[in-house]
Homo-oligomer: A and B are copies of this chain.
Amino acid sequence: MMIVMKPSATPEEVQAVIARIESAGAKAHPSAGDEVTVIGAVGDREHIARLELEGHAGVDRVVPILKPYKLASAQLRDRSVFEIGGRRIGGEHFAMIAGPCTVESREQLLTSADAMLEAGATMFRGGAYKPRTSPYAFHGLGDDGLRLLAEAKERTGLPIVTELMDVRDIEPVIEVADVIQIGARNMQNYTLLTEVGRAGVPVLLKRGLSATLDELLNASEYILKEGNEKVMLCERGIRTFETAYRFTLDLTAIPVLKELTHLPIVVDPSHAAGRRALVEPLSLAAAAAGADGIIVEVHPDPDNAVCDGPQQLRVDEFAEYLRKVEQVAAIAGKVLSGVPA
């Protein structure tokens, strides 16, 4: 960490910063220039993290040198590749996670699951618990939804991805889920992150609407720190000033995250776009930018879907969509992940 002092900083203020660094067990390396003094603070990451010098008297800026996360860092290890229900994730493997936004009925779910299996999807998604902005909206089928997901899994063999919102629901969810999804609104729900870390089930962690990449990686660190190494990060659109579409899908995040972390990066074009017509171009763009996978919403009858119908692809158009995504992913050096022979 480097502390840049203000030009107006007094010698006492410089000394106070040095004293604070040393009292935390770190070493201070001051360097006085013509106009300003810069102080390097060298030491253990945890000590440095507690220094809290931002805004201290005489301090202009604090410049972190080391990233605050370590287990998520690209320097820790080579690119993570892991297995989920027999499918390989990460590295050259491209995951297509598809299924309806929410579990509505047995027929809707099993029709979708059968079609995803046949088209060659990697995993099957479906929400039993739905976070909704309004308390008056539909919040999911809950336990009944989980039971239907279990049936879809038994029938198709596809690994199941489903969201956990309430830490008290973790036991029934992990009975069914091969991957626990943590939604964007819960990205900094540290209680939940810690518990899914302890549960040891693979996690798909969505980026918050206005979370920086550093915050996303710090959130993943909460999970990794509990010993759970199977974490996928998911870009799903960020909040910007533009109102012509729901969220701004941040595809620059893909190559940048790949420099920062060894964890696989998945993209959710459905929630970012909010409209079916945008899902294919954004999916192709995500694959072209080097994503390790896509999580997309598909429905047998989107016009009558209970929730987010307009953004769900039609089941009968999915296979063709998947072929195009595969072609682009191939140019980016990836192969669709299916059941190992």
Known contacts A38-B65, A288-B284, A290-B281; is A210 also within 8 Å of B212 by CB?
Answer: no
CB distance from A36 to the nearest CB of B (A): 6
A301 at the interface (CB under 8 A from B): no
Residues of B close to A49: CB separation below 8 A: 134, 136-137
* Shortest Cβ-Cβ A-B pairs, 6 listed: A55-B310, A210-B210, A284-B288, A55-B275, A288-B288, A185-B188
**In the complex, which of the residues B167, B214, B282 contacts A289, with contact meaning CB atoms closer than 8 Å?**
B282
Tell me which of B52, B66, B328 contacts A309 (CB under 8 A). B52
A36 surroundings in chain B (CB, below 8 A): 65-66
Query: Can you name the residue of chain B whose Cβ is closest to the Cβ of A258?
Result: B281
Interface check A124, CB cutoff 8 A: no
Tell me the complex Cα distance, A7–B260, Å. 11
A:272-306 near B, CB below 8 Å: 272-278, 281-282, 284-290, 303, 305-306
Chain B residue nearest to A187 in the complex (CB): B185
Most buried by B among A135, A239, A277: A135
CB pair A133–B215 under 8 Å, yes or no, is yes
Question: In the complex, which residues of chain B have a beta carbon less than 8 angstroms from the beta carbon of A253?
Answer: 242, 244
CB atoms of A55 and B274 under 8 A apart: yes
Q: A4-B65, A8-B75, A324-B331 are in contact. List 11 more A-B contacts (CB 8 A).
A: A50-B138, A55-B310, A56-B309, A131-B190, A133-B188, A134-B221, A167-B168, A185-B189, A245-B252, A248-B252, A328-B328
A171 within 8 A of B: no
Of the listed stretches A40-48, A88-96, A144-152, chain B binds A40-48
Bound-complex Cα distance A153 to B245 (A): 40
Q: Which of B212, B221, B282 is in CB contact (< 8 Å) with A252?
A: B282
Instruction: Bits for A317-341, please: 1 = Cβ < 8 Å to B, else 0.
Output: 0000000100110011000000000
Question: In the complex, which residues of chain B have a beta carbon less than 8 angstroms from the beta carbon of A286?
Answer: 285
**A324 CB → nearest B CB, Å:** 6
**B residues less than 8 Å from A331 (CB atoms):** 284, 324, 327-328
Is A143 on the interface with B (CB-CB < 8 A)? Answer: no
A186 at the interface (CB under 8 A from B): yes
Q: 26 interchain pairs (CB within 8 A)?
A: A2-B63, A35-B75, A49-B134, A49-B136, A50-B137, A52-B305, A52-B309, A55-B311, A59-B310, A131-B190, A209-B210, A210-B239, A212-B243, A213-B242, A243-B243, A244-B260, A245-B252, A251-B281, A252-B272, A252-B282, A255-B278, A255-B281, A281-B290, A284-B289, A284-B331, A285-B288
A53: CB under 8 A from chain B? yes
Q: Does A254 contact B (CB under 8 A)?
A: yes
Question: Which of A42, A75, A133 has the most chain B CB within a 10 Å cutoff?
Answer: A133
Chain A 1-23 interface mask (CB, 8 Å, partner B; 1/0): 01010011000000010001000
Which residues of the partner chain B approach A133 to less than 8 Å between Cβ atoms?
68, 188, 215, 218
Interface centre among A274, A275, A286 (most CB of B within 10 A): A275
Kindly state whether residue A240 has any CB partner on chain B within 8 Å.
yes
